[in-house]
Amino acid sequence: MSQIEIKKIFKAINASDGAGVKLKRSIGTPEVDYIDPFLMLDEFGSENKDDYVAGFPPHPHRGIETVTYMLNGEFEHKDSTGAKGTMAPGDVQWMKTGRGIIHSEMPAMAGGKLLGFQLWINMPAKLKKNKPEYIYIKSNELGVHSDSEKIVKVIAGKYENAEGPEKNHNVEPIYFHVVLNENKEFSFAAPAGHNSFIYLLKGELKIGEKKHEKTTDSNLILLERGDKLTVKATRKSEFLFIAGKPIGEPIARGGPFVMNTKAEILEAIQDYNNGTFAKY
């Protein structure tokens, strides 16, 4: 087995999206544009309601999947397929936008702590014009592995006997939320062909066997390819481990649209402007 080592560590940058929601962005930045198949990763959270109360009013997407994972607080989702629901702590919303969806994500809380993540996954060209699909995953539907050293919540993939609810996906994603106790170890046999990263929410980690710079809160830790991941917490830590099979196709971006060519981006904008965008 080949040990997975750190390629580079990045600090998430402060940003805002929607109607001014404050967040930390670690993928989809000038430094980290794209980790195939992952297009964006945001950590959104605050204890100040003014930072999130305006939410994400109705906006379109095409050609991507958005995976929203809520740790604290509540958000209400509505979209043009008629799907709607209120996300509570521990819930996941997995939206495959395909050829087009218009949705809104608005806080269903007047105050308190908000914390969550949104991950964008690219779709291959053959799926970008599919009918949209909305998957709502309640917290009790996640796979959970728990022992005296760690808790691993599984959104996608499999850890020990815990399996995530999202299966048979084209990029074979792995999405774990790990809480690791001080001086304890998390190890995982990863697919050698996947691209992977760790997002450290809080704590401090030692990854692999080689010496590396110190990790801190809100770090994106880009990993080398390999098939043996070893993570040790030098103090109690909480992190995401995310991996996926690369798609290997050209990408063209235009705000909420990600296609393969600039012409397809212009088509998406035209469809949205002329009212045919989310007609199924």
Joined together, the tokens standing for residue 268 give 């998406």
Integer Cα distance of 233 and 97 in angstroms: 37
Task: Name the CA radius of gyration of the chain, rounded.
Answer: 18
**Which residues, listed in sequence order, are joined to residue 208 by a DSSP beta bridge?**
none
Indicate the domain borders of the chain: 6-273
Sheet containing 133-137: which strands, arranged edge to edge?
A: 13-17, 21-27, 38-46, 114-122, 64-72, 92-96, 133-137
Q: What pLDDT shows up at residue 111?
A: 78
Q: Rounded distance, CA 198 to CA 222, Å?
A: 7
| Whole-number Cα distances in Å, 242 to 12, 88, 91, 145, 156 | 16, 22, 17, 16, 9
CB burial of residue 2 (10 Å; 0-12, 13-18, 19+): exposed
pLDDT score recorded for residue 20: 80
Name the residue among 208, 244, 213 with its Cα closest to residue 228: 208
| Tokens linked to 198 | 């760790």
> 79-97, pLDDT tens digit by residue?
898 888 899 999 999 999 9
pLDDT tens digits for range 155-165: 999 999 999 99
d(CA 228, CA 33): 26
- Which residues does the chain have with pLDDT short of 70? 280
Tell how far CA 64 is from the center of its chain.
12
Residue 247 per-residue DSSP state? -
Q: Phi and psi of 162, rounded to 5°?
A: -95, 125
| Closest CA relative to residue 72, chosen from 46, 101, 99 | 46
What is the model's pLDDT at position 61?
95
In this prediction the pTM is 0.95
**Distance in angstroms between the alpha carbons of the first and the last residue of the chain:** 47
CA distance 166 to 154: 9
pLDDT digits (tens, 9 = 90+) for 87-141: 999 999 999 999 999 999 988 887 789 899 999 999 999 999 999 998 999 999 9
Amino acid code (one letter) for 141: E
Q: Is 6-273 CATH 2.40.40.20?
A: no
- Residue 208 gets the label, from left (phi > 0), alpha (psi -120 to 50) or beta, of left
H/E element, 98: none
How far apart CA 204 and CA 107 sit, in angstroms, is: 31
Q: Please report the pLDDT score of residue 280 as a whole number.
A: 61
